[in-house]
Amino acid sequence: MDRIQIRGGNRLNGSIQISGAKNAALPLMIVSLLTPETLTLSNVPRLADVRQLQRILQNHGVDIMVAGKRPGQNGHSGDTKQLSARTIADTTAPYELVSKMRASFWVLGPLLGRCGEAKVSLPGGCAIGTRPVDMHLQAMEALGAEIAIEGGYVIARARHGLKGAHIAFDKVSVGATHAALMAAVLAEGDTIIENAATEPEIGDVATCLVKMGARIEGIHTTTLRVRGVTSLHGTEHSVIPDRIETGTYAMCAGMTGGDVTLKGADAGHLGAVLDVMRQAGIGVDVTNEGLRIRRNGQALEPVRVETQPFPGFPTDCQAQLMALMTMANGTSMIRETIFENRFMHVQELARLGAEIQLHGDTAEVRGVKKLTGAPVMATDLRASVSLVIAALAAEGETTINRVYHLDRGFETLEEKLQACGADVSRISGN
């Protein structure tokens, strides 16, 4: 298993190209199931999760061709993928494939919409909380599907096709909103999705669906209105920049001091994160190229933050912010409201000398003057990268084990950090 070694203390200076958003690329690839024509996606990040979803889609009969791009070409660093689901060869998404990545469960809606049936393995537990799928099933049932759960599989049927419906979610769910939207576009009649998530990745998927012939109103709002169509056609679409990757490198820059430009970043997707960074005393400027993040000797100020659905502070940046606040000039309070168990990084940050106490869903982070390198373990994607942030500022060497978590969601992390002067290397093997 690969490890990442970081010798802390270098200020980051330079520029980092932001990749396409993982959490937009995954549902966009799933959208390809909705049409027999070719969907061409550009700026698709080269990530383990993308490769895993590719296997799942291929199992359903999707042909996928990849044309690479050189880093920096056309401002993009990712792949261009052509996905063609001329026929759906298999409506089953097996346990062996779905259990590796939760988002693959989202094939349920499009398979039902296109084929009237789907058998999809329940995604199973996940390190950051219980993460049920009841709201996904609620949406499918509202659209007229009959649902049974047998042997760990969701078996869904809509013998006479899906029918438009009024879906009102009790709480905000990114995945359930994707599922409802992807199923409703081919349903007969009108669907209203209330209390929809407004994360930019959902807007990106909805925009792509409209290019494919879907009729959707209210994109980027909490009420989506869909008028079902009988078929969708192919299109070309470029994946939006990754706001979580942007926030992560912004915190790397803030943690080490220095001056980093995040090329291609979209500040409009990061309002709450940038506000918090400014409160922490970090310079944030929106430029023609993206975002410029600076801290030149100013102290890091503590903050009080709670995670919220968009446009609030994202849970996917919570661990990174906590790493940043370990060296703040005072005590920060960070409350996690989305997932009940997203604090695995706390123990690992403590190994570097961080002082963090948990009080239920709130972490009290007492800033320390210095962190010291140590061996640590990556536990999930965002927790892992929080260790990278802390290690960049720690004295001495930190070795991060189990970095396959990082590879799920950060494209060429070491190279991007090295280019700005960080002392980071990957050690392959055991």
Interface residues with ligand EPZ (CB under 6 A) are: 23, 26, 102-103, 129, 131-136, 171, 173-176, 315-316, 338-339, 381-382, 409
Q: How far apart are CA 61 and CA 264, in angstroms?
A: 34
Q: How far is the CB of 336 from ligand EPZ (least distance, A)?
A: 10
Per-residue b/e over 253-266, b at no fewer than 16 CB within 10 Å?
A: bbbbbbbbbbbbbb
Q: How far is the CB of 173 from ligand EPZ (least distance, A)?
A: 3
CB-based contacts of 429: which residues, under 8 Å, 6+ apart?
Answer: 1, 2
Beta bridge partners of 72: none
Q: Which residue lies nearest ligand EPZ, judged by its C-beta?
A: 175
Q: Residues with catalytic annotation? A: 126
CB 149 within 8 A of CB 122: yes
Q: How far is the CB of 123 from ligand EPZ (least distance, A)?
A: 9
CA distances from 393 to 26, 387, 411 (A): 32, 10, 21
CB 374 within 8 A of CB 310: no
Report the candidate in 1, 7, 77 with the shortest Cα–Cα distance to residue 42: 77
Nearest CB to ligand EPZ, comparing residues 134 and 236: 134
Report the candidate in 90, 173, 67 with the shortest Cα–Cα distance to residue 129: 173
Nearest CB to ligand EPZ, comparing residues 72 and 124: 124
Nearest CB to ligand EPZ, comparing residues 81 and 102: 102
Nearest CB to ligand EPZ, comparing residues 381 and 390: 381
Nearest CB to ligand EPZ, comparing residues 316 and 411: 316
The tokens describing 261, both together, are: 């430009």
Q: How far apart are CA 139 and CA 132, in angstroms?
A: 14
Beta bridge partners of 154: 120, 149
